[in-house]
């Protein structure tokens, strides 16, 4: 029994009216079992088929009639792009009726060379977010989620788990609305292990409401995974294989069962990755403006073994009283074993004499295991907007590192050899407990209030043992070996008032968050506690000028708290010349975002935005303890300004050819003082994405995506341009149950994106040659319902 049916029975059993009424409830699906929001149910009186009343389906496909007069009736079901259907006749005698679920078939129109079916735009703009369709994209095949985000309109990724929205750095990444509670390289590893084929859509929320956590100074990226919507028993299986510079591929599938209010599913996949890449790094060291030393480093990376596993399972049950109990578990495991060989040449200036040559071999053996357990219950009262929700998350995560490098140095002046080396063994675990309550109640027919609470407890334990090579033997390094523990506890309350009328919709909210942080340097027997409370106002306003034009505006305030890796003072060595360390004196960064936009016929959207931030956390590369060494350390940058503008256009060239275009221009300005160095870094940038879908007959579809990103300024660094073109095609087989897909990623691309960073006495130039041209073939088959 469907959710709307259960809700209708509940309403019918408890309704008290001034006059006798008969209620007819039902639900409308498409042929695949997806609810059709906005579908029309028309009640016709027999025998003359006169129209009595109409109802539009809600987002879950449900509709409800209140019929006063007894008699014989029939229901006509219709929706744009679907064939209309008439129900069986109903004789109403005062008893409430529940119709069987209706499945509308697509209304197909044959042309000489094409097969046309209705399809949503690939990129859609709403009042509070931009949504990118992934499930309906052919190009998603063959990408992991990290690669998917790198090519998403409005997003910029550094490839290391850090993302920007509209040029603003510090986006918070979530899966199905739940925080990942990992960041940086840990997050990047998880996103590499999650395949784009598991994702239904991406939500880019630049101005979240008070309902959402305030973390993420640029807003929220919500990754929504696929969930079964089909009725009955069925499943699917897939196999894919591809080649870049080396082979990669994977396999997987799933099962689902949905009947009488019970919905269960399980999905799993395994993927393999191989690859080769190389890069060039040049470092110039200065003293009072004079060049003193120069390094040129060539690095070849070889990924011989990387495997990722993912299993998701869940169950949902809809009770007869309208309540819904939903539980899920998601397990991910990844193992990553890259190797790197490095050649380093060093010159001294002003003599311009080469003084040293060095060769390093780096071996990495890294793995992660991530669990997410979730349970939530929704108790619905009268109407969609009157409910109480409870949610609980438990997420243990672990990383193991066993990394080693050895460096042979040859002094060209003394002609002597020396050997140095380091190992880094880490056992890192973090555990998160999170619970929340959300309550929504209509105040009038056009207004409602929302109240909520959320509590989050986050604990990290990091044991690090480092050894150094000393006269041919490995010895523990007490200066870098450490045990670090980090606790973060956040309690939050929020309230939101919203109102809708024919032309105006608005929402105002206030969120308060109390934060307690304890950083325990166990090795040093040193603790640092922080306690603070912040208020985060937010609001949005939408005005319907007419049937074609809308205006919208929104604002929010956000925060980014220093993470454990940001404040852990112990050093982690990448090689003999490069290392990083945390900064225990970091303050949380805060930002304030406002946007205004216009929409025309749900096709053309323009947005202007201004963002101001203070104490922005940015990792700064500077000269290390010795000449020739470079240190990366996070700092608070005093002030940050961002001005942005974007245009999105959904276009239909022909009935068989649709496209989504997105252009974003922005200006970043970082200013402040870090130590004794003044920072004044600014620059303008722009990005463009254009995705074209061509739908032909016989189930053949192709997609082309072009993307361009100019240089982008972030703190003291500026990246060079990135561009590319991807091509994909798919063909349905076996009565639409089978699918074959061919994708070519990076068919056209720039092969060596670059970066320049300049701070204090160090200037760094970096040029990368990644493995970003890949071809993949995949086969899939769907069985059952």
Range of the domain at 57: 3-107
pLDDT in tens, 184-220: 777 888 888 788 888 888 999 988 999 999 998 888 9
What is the model's pLDDT at position 431? 93
Whose CA is closest to 419, among 408, 430, 410, 434? 408
Distance of alpha carbon 394 from alpha carbon 381, whole angstroms: 28
Q: Average pLDDT of 341-369?
A: 91
Strands 290-318 and 324-348 turn out to be antiparallel
What is the model's pLDDT at position 480? 84
> Does residue 638 sit within a domain?
yes
> Does residue 188 sit within a domain?
no
pLDDT-derived band at 108 (thresholds 50, 70, 90) equals very low
Checking if the pLDDT of 12 tops 50, the result is no
What is the model's pLDDT at position 6? 39
Q: Which residue has the tokens 């603003």?
A: 168
Token pair in block for residue 377: 């219950």
Give the distance from CA 751 to its chain's centroid: 26
> Does residue 459 sit within a domain?
yes
pLDDT-derived band at 498 (thresholds 50, 70, 90) equals very high
List of residues 6+ apart from 352 with CB closer than 8 A:
none
> Does residue 204 sit within a domain?
no
Q: How many Cβ atoms sit within 10 Å of the Cβ of residue 457?
A: 15
Q: Which of 226-230, 368-372, 402-406, 484-488 has the lowest mean pLDDT?
A: 226-230
β strands within 57-143, DSSP E: 62-67, 71-78, 85-86, 90-92, 97-98, 102-104, 109-110, 115-116, 123-125, 130-133
Strands 762-769 and 262-287 turn out to be antiparallel
State in Å, rounded, how far the first CA of the chain is from the last one: 17
Q: Average pLDDT of 508-517?
A: 96
Distance of alpha carbon 183 from alpha carbon 172, whole angstroms: 9
Q: Which of 249-253, 317-321, 412-416 has the lowest mean pLDDT?
A: 317-321
Checking if the pLDDT of 100 tops 70, the result is no
Q: Which residue has the tokens 């992934």?
A: 134
Checking if the pLDDT of 18 tops 60, the result is no
- Which of 107, 131, 154 delimits the end of a domain? 107
Q: Average pLDDT of 25-46?
A: 83
- Which of 52, 86, 107 delimits the end of a domain? 107
Q: Which residue has the tokens 């190797």?
A: 339
Q: Are 25 and 62 in contact (CB under 8 A)?
A: yes
Q: Are residues 102 and 249 in the same domain?
A: no
- Which of 76, 107, 138 delimits the end of a domain? 107
Return the sign of the alpha-carbon dihedral for residues 335, 338, 339, 342. negative
Q: Are 47 and 245 in contact (CB under 8 A)?
A: no
Checking if the pLDDT of 112 tops 60, the result is no
> Does residue 163 sit within a domain?
no
List of residues 6+ apart from 351 with CB closer than 8 A:
none
Mean pLDDT value across the chain? 86
What is the model's pLDDT at position 704? 94
Checking if the pLDDT of 360 tops 80, the result is yes
DSSP reduced 3-state for 335 = strand
> Does residue 137 sit within a domain?
no
What is the DSSP code (8-state) at residue 60?
T
3-state secondary structure 542-558: EEECCCCEEEEEEEEEE
What is the DSSP code (8-state) at residue 637?
E
Surface-to-core class of residue 598, CB atoms within 10 Å of its CB (0-12 exposed, 13-18 middle, 19+ buried): middle
pLDDT in tens, 139-191: 887 678 888 888 888 888 877 778 888 888 888 888 888 887 777 777 888 88
> How many domains does the chain contain in total?
2
User: What radius of gyration do the chain's Cα atoms show?
Assistant: 29
Q: Average pLDDT of 374-385?
A: 86
> What are the Cα distances from residue 609, in Å, to 71, 544, 554, 677, 723?
57, 20, 9, 30, 25
> Does residue 132 sit within a domain?
no
Checking if the pLDDT of 29 tops 60, the result is yes
Of 440 and 79, which is predicted with more confidence? Answer: 440
Of 264 and 44, which is predicted with more confidence? Answer: 264
Q: Are 665 and 685 in contact (CB under 8 A)?
A: yes
Of 137 and 646, which is predicted with more confidence? Answer: 646
Distance of alpha carbon 624 from alpha carbon 421, whole angstroms: 18
Whose CA is closest to 577, among 235, 388, 294? 294
Q: Are residues 261 and 408 in the same domain?
A: yes
CATH of residue 305's domain is 2.40.170.20
Of 81 and 306, which is predicted with more confidence? Answer: 306
Q: How many Cβ atoms sit within 10 Å of the Cβ of residue 544?
A: 16
Beta bridge partners of 284: 294, 763
> Does residue 303 sit within a domain?
yes
What is the model's pLDDT at position 21? 58
Distance of alpha carbon 753 from alpha carbon 766, whole angstroms: 8
CATH of residue 15's domain is 2.60.40.10
């Amino acid at each position: 029994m469907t959710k709307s049916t259960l809700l209708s029975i509940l309403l019918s059993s408890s309704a008290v009216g001034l006059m006798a009424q008969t209620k007819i409830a039902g639900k409308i699906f498409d042929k695949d079992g997806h609810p059709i929001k906005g579908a029309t149910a028309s009640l016709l009186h027999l025998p003359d088929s006169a129209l009595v009343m109409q109802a539009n389906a809600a987002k879950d496909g449900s509709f409800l009639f209140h019929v006063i007069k007894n008699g014989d009736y029939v229901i006509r079901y219709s929706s744009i792009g679907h064939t209309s259907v008439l129900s069986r006749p109903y004789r109403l005698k005062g008893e409430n009726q529940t119709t069987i679920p209706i499945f509308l078939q697509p209304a197909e129109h044959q042309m000489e060379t094409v097969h046309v079916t209705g399809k949503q735009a690939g990129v859609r703009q709403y009042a509070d977010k931009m949504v990118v369709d992934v499930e309906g994209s052919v190009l998603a095949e063959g990408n992991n989620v990290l690669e998917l985000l790198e090519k998403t309109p409005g997003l910029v990724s550094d490839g290391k788990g850090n993302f920007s929205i509209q040029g603003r750095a510090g986006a918070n990444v979530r899966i199905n609305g739940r925080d990942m509670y990992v960041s940086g390289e840990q997050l990047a590893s998880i996103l590499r292990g999650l395949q784009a084929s598991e994702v239904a859509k991406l939500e880019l929320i630049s101005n979240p409401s008070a309902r959402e956590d305030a973390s993420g100074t640029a807003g929220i990226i919500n990754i929504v995974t696929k969930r079964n919507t089909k009725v009955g028993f069925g499943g699917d299986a897939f196999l894919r294989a591809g080649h870049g510079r080396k082979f990669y591929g994977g396999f997987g599938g799933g099962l689902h069962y949905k009947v009488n209010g019970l919905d269960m599913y399980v999905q799993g996949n395994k993927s393999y990755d191989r690859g080769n890449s190389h890069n060039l790094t040049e470092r110039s060291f200065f003293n009072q403006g004079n060049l003193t030393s120069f390094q040129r480093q060539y690095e070849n990376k070889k990924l011989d073994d990387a495997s990722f596993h993912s299993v998701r399972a869940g169950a949902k049950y809809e009770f007869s009283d309208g309540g819904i109990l939903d539980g899920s578990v998601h397990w991910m495991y990844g193992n990553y074993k890259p190797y790197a060989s490095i050649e380093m040449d060093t010159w001294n200036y002003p003599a311009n004499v080469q003084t040293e040559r060095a060769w390093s071999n780096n071996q990495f053996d890294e793995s992660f295991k991530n669990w997410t357990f979730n349970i939530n219950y929704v108790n619905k009262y009268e109407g969609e907007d009157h409910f109480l929700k409870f949610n609980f998350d438990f997420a243990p995560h672990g990383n193991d590192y066993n990394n080693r490098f050895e460096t042979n140095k040859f002094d060209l002046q003394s002609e002597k050899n020396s050997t140095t080396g380091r190992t880094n063994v880490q056992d890192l675990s973090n555990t998160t407990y999170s619970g929340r309550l959300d309550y929504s109640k209509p105040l009038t027919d056009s207004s409602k209030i929302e109240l909520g609470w959320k509590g989050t407890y986050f604990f990290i334990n990091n044991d690090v043992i480092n050894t150094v090579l000393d006269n041919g033997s490995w010895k523990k390094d007490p200066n870098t070996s450490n045990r670090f523990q980090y606790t973060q506890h956040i309690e939050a309350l929020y309230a939101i008032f919203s109102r809708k009328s024919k032309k105006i919709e608005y929402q105002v909210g206030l969120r308060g968050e109390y934060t307690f942080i304890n950083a325990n340097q166990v090795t040093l027997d040193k603790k640092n506690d922080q306690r603070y409370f912040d208020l985060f106002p937010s609001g949005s306003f939408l005005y319907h000028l007419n049937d074609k034009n809308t205006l919208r505006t929104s604002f929010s305030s956000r925060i980014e708290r220093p993470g454990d890796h940001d404040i852990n003072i112990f050093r982690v060595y990448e090689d003999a010349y490069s290392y990083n360390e945390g900064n225990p004196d970091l303050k949380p960064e805060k930002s304030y975002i406002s946007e205004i936009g216009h929409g025309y016929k749900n096709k053309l959207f323009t947005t202007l935005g201004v963002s101001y931030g203070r104490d922005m956390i940015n990792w700064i590369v500077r000269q290390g303890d010795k000449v020739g060494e470079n240190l990366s350390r996070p700092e608070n940058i005093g002030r940050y300004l961002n001005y942005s503008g974007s245009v999105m256009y959904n276009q239909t060239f022909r009935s068989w050819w649709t496209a989504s275009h997105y252009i974003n221009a922005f200006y970043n300005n970082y200013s402040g003082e870090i130590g004794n160095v003044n920072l004044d870094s600014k620059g303008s940038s722009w990005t463009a994405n254009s995705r074209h879908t061509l739908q032909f007959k016989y189930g053949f579809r192709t997609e082309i995506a072009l993307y361009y990103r100019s240089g982008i300024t972030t703190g003291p660094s500026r990246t060079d341009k990135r561009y590319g073109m991807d091509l994909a095609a798919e063909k349905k087989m076996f009565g639409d149950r089978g699918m074959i897909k061919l994708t070519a990623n990076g068919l056209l691309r720039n092969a060596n994106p670059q970066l320049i960073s300049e701070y204090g006495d160090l200037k760094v130039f970096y040029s990368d040659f990644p493995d970003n041209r890949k071809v993949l073939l995949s086969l899939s088959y769907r069985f059952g319902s």
